């Protein structure tokens, strides 16, 4: 499940079902008939491929499972052709539910990843969602939402595994959160709701923190968390237009950068000197722009502060992944 690991064929198959469900959902919510036809065609091709594979004489799955796939593929093919006549939203919902159930079934036998890998994947997903929201990039947002959905379907599947030794209360909480993420992702339409995106980001970060609370965070991990959260707070304050919220967000961001500057200024800090010099310059820039605030701030300047946090967060995450 961790983003650093290559996907197995089973995981790729599972994610193909999730992707198809997400595409159908998004097209439905957008009321985009052309996109919906395209999504249904892709889903149909996926199920025709499944039917072809499981119908082969060389059996790699049990007879019961083979029969189930054949029945489901027949149902999906039949209902896809029927949709052109009655445009039933119930059929679309059924397609999405079938795909998610099959994805969960495929992921049941996937190897359990470490808590650190799960936490890292959640942080990376939060970053991708935040960046897409800040850039107001619909394509980037669709990709980020799809990847976040795949991650949470995987989490939902893994916590149900009998080999998972997490306490039942935590399993129940993760299962509830996964249902929330799936529901909210399918509800998002062409007009992306910033509040919903931020709730998805916050959910990811809170779970990541919970997964990592059993061990101390490294300096890079702490900074990545803090920078991402600060970028979110600044973005929320910008969207709300509330001066007091913006002042508070700017003050907290300044404190964060003063702490970063103090840390990297130490000779004993292990970062390469060129990176430390860059962070010191960014800290000075942040301080200068924050002190210039006098009741109003140029949107471009505020966007620069937000993007600076996101870019440095990305750099820290890449260093964590490489180490």
List, for residues 87-110, the tens digit of each pLDDT value.
Answer: 888 889 899 999 988 888 777 655
In three-state secondary structure terms, 71 is helix
Q: Is residue 3 part of a domain?
A: no
Q: Which of residues 55, 80, 107 is at a domain's end? A: 107
Domain count, the chain: 3
Residues 248, 153 share a domain: no
Could you tell me which residue, 52 or 108, shows the higher pLDDT? 52
Q: Are 173 and 159 in contact (CB under 8 A)?
A: no
Q: Give the span between the Cα atoms of 119 and 221, in whole angstroms.
A: 10
Q: Which of residues 195, 211, 227 is at a domain's end? A: 211
Could you tell me which residue, 25 or 120, shows the higher pLDDT? 25
Q: Is residue 273 part of a domain?
A: yes
Residues 26, 90 share a domain: yes
Among residues of the chain, what percentage have pLDDT more than 70? 85
- pLDDT per residue over 247-290, tens digit each? 898 999 998 899 888 888 888 877 788 888 888 999 998 898 88
Residues 309, 248 share a domain: yes
Q: Is residue 42 part of a domain?
A: yes
Residues 126, 152 share a domain: yes
Q: Is residue 89 part of a domain?
A: yes
Q: Give the span between the Cα atoms of 147 and 11, in whole angstroms.
A: 13
Which residue range is the domain that position 253 belongs to? Answer: 216-323
Q: Is residue 30 part of a domain?
A: yes
Per-residue pLDDT at 7: 44
Residues 220, 203 share a domain: no
Q: How confident is the model at residue 74 (pLDDT cuts 50, 70, 90)?
A: very high
Contacts of 80 (CB under 8 A, 6+ apart): 40, 43, 44, 95
Q: Is residue 302 part of a domain?
A: yes
Per-residue pLDDT at 1: 41
Whole-structure pTM value: 0.66
Could you tell me which residue, 115 or 206, shows the higher pLDDT? 206
């Amino acid at each position: 499940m961790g983003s650093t690991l290559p996907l197995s064929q089973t995981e790729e198959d599972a994610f193909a079902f999730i992707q198809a469900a997400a595409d159908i959902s998004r097209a439905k919510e957008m009321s985009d008939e052309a996109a919906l036809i395209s999504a249904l065609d892709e889903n149909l091709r996926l199920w025709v491929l499944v039917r072809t594979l499981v119908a082969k004489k060389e059996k790699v799955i049990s007879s019961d499972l083979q029969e189930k796939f054949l029945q489901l593929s027949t149902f999906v093919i039949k209902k896809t052709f029927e949709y052109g006549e009655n445009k039933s939203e119930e059929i679309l919902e059924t397609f999405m539910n079938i795909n998610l159930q099959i994805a969960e079934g495929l992921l049941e036998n996937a190897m359990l990843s470490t808590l650190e890998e799960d936490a890292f994947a959640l942080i990376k997903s939060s970053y991708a969602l935040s960046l897409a929201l800040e850039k107001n990039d619909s394509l980037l947002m669709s990709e980020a939402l799809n990847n976040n959905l795949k991650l949470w379907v995987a989490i939902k599947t893994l916590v149900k595994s009998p080999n998972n030794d997490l306490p039942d209360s935590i399993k129940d909480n993760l299962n509830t959160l996964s249902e929330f993420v799936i529901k909210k992702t399918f509800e998002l339409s062409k007009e992306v709701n910033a509040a919903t995106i931020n709730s998805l980001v916050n959910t990811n970060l809170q779970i990541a923190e919970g997964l990592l609370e059993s061990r101390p965070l490294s300096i890079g991990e702490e900074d990545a968390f803090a920078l991402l959260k600060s970028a979110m707070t600044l973005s929320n304050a910008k969207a709300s237009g509330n001066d007091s919220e913006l002042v508070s967000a700017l003050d907290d961001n300044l404190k964060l950068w003063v702490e970063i500057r103090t840390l990297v200024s130490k000779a004993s800090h292990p970062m390469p000197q060129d990176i430390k010099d860059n962070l010191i310059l960014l800290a000075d820039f942040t301080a200068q722009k924050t002190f210039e605030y006098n009741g109003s701030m140029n949107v471009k300047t505020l966007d620069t502060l937000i993007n600076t946090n996101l870019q440095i967060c990305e750099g820290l995450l890449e260093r964590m992944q490489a180490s």
